[in-house]
Structure 1
């Protein structure tokens, strides 16, 4: 561990980690949009992952079941100018609130642009962050999206937060969500600062949560890189009673992914 830092210096460090993590994870994430004529659009988040054990070929879109149940859906791979219909084999589990869509390699190559897939080696085997570690997620809050006529005007956002002390259980952990204490990073454009809202986290369901390992590696920007981060969970939902975001622990995510049928 490095020397303890407080106050303004810690804010500067958090700003730098957030911006670097946002750039690092940008190619992996996508908004998920369900829009029917005459109905309000439903918004969630997802991530492209890649299995290295040969069980599944091509890209796989991972999100929550309560997001994926609303079909048809559209996504927008990084670099795409418009929404694209999600197509592929869907496997969902209501008990675990998790879902995958197998995207064929041909389809992926036709839409890939700048998008990338999270390889399984980036998934931690267990959720075990250092004390007061910075945890990061990247997705789309519905309050920062306008959907209409097949288009999407949005601001995808990345957040650094921390695990709530003495919370969670064997299945989930809790991330602090404190809008009144949120700070916009220095790299945010003037236009985005004017438009950005961060009051309501609805829409982040399906986002991967990353253990940045920044604190673990000494809270030293000269030693830490965003590539040191590992996936530590799947963000499920906002709990209004605890004012926290509930995250399914990565060990359960991995077990569920491994248990799916061969066609999924």
Structure 2
């Protein structure tokens, strides 16, 4: 496969994954008077009917330290308060969940959907040079003012940096100068989007698309084949990577007491 062919296929995977994950993802915003807003990314999770609190909003613990917080489910026109009982764990997990009651969720959901826990992989075990995908909101693409919230949520295909990470984290390439905009990107977004600063992606889920694993056949592959393989925690400009918690640690924490 030539580089041109690979880039075209990667762009198609990114376009399909963007559509697939759009209903699950929300910006998470903390506002203070006379200060720039703090931005993170969250995902709506379905913990099942058997739990009293079945809806969870997952993000990083460091995103939720400053409160109050707001979110914006797909289809809403403005930020909504994010409230509910939660649990959080600082480093080395750095994850947090707000449990929203069903009545509250029904009034806020609009076009948003819940991601089933069954879509989370038991462990981070992608094929070598697999396409990894994440969707979130970078702070540089957000404006909050008297006109309300204006933010561009973006999705990216990348790959794990070889021979990096450890038994807890893995590293995903983040190299803005090498970023290519996929053909399916809306022209308005294409003209406005910035991709220099990754701050705001904290809390984004990293998906193992399994595209390489399943043979790089775009006609046979589907976003339904993808599984969550980690949680983005922070950006490391020195290594030009995004650091993510491996799925096995995320799942153990989510399902633990």
Which position in structure 2 is the counterpart of 1:70? Answer: 66
Mapped pair 1:32 → 2:41: no
Deviation (angstroms), 1:54: 2.6
Name the SS of the counterpart of 2:177 in structure 1.
helix
Deviation (angstroms), 1:191: 1.8
- CA 1:150 to 1:68, structure 2 compared with 1: closer, same or farther past 3 Å? farther
| Residue from 234, 238, 241 that aligns with 1:237 | 234
Mapped pair 1:165 → 2:162: yes
Contact 1:58–1:108 (Cα < 8 Å) also in 2 = no
Mapped pair 1:126 → 2:123: yes
Contact 1:146–1:153 (Cα < 8 Å) also in 2 = yes
Mapped pair 1:108 → 2:105: yes
CA distance in 1 between partners of 2:49 and 2:122 (Å)? 15
CA distance in 2 between partners of 1:208 and 1:241 (Å)? 22
Contact 1:28–1:47 (Cα < 8 Å) also in 2 = yes
Q: Deviations over 1:81-125 (max 9, x none)?
A: 111000101211113211000001001111111111111110110
Task: Number of aligned residue pairs: give it.
Answer: 256
Which position in structure 2 is the counterpart of 1:223? Answer: 220
**Structure 2 gaps, min length 5:** none
CA distance in 2 between partners of 1:6 and 1:126 (Å)? 31
Mapped pair 1:198 → 2:219: no
Q: Deviations over 1:142-167 (max 9, x none)?
A: 01111123721111000000000000
**Structure 1 gaps, min length 5:** none
Please list, as runs of the form range in 1=range in 2, the aligned pairs for 1:151-190 lying within 5 A after superposition: 151-190=148-187
Deviation (angstroms), 1:51: 1.4
Deviation (angstroms), 1:207: 0.4
Runs ≥4 residues deviating over 2 A = 52-58
CA distance in 2 between partners of 1:148 and 1:174 (Å)? 34
Which position in structure 2 is the counterpart of 1:86? Answer: 82
Structure 1 range deviating more: 49-58 or 112-121: 49-58
| Residue from 15, 21, 30 that aligns with 1:19 | 15
Please list, as runs of the form range in 1=range in 2, the aligned pairs for 1:202-213 lying within 5 A after superposition: 202-213=199-210
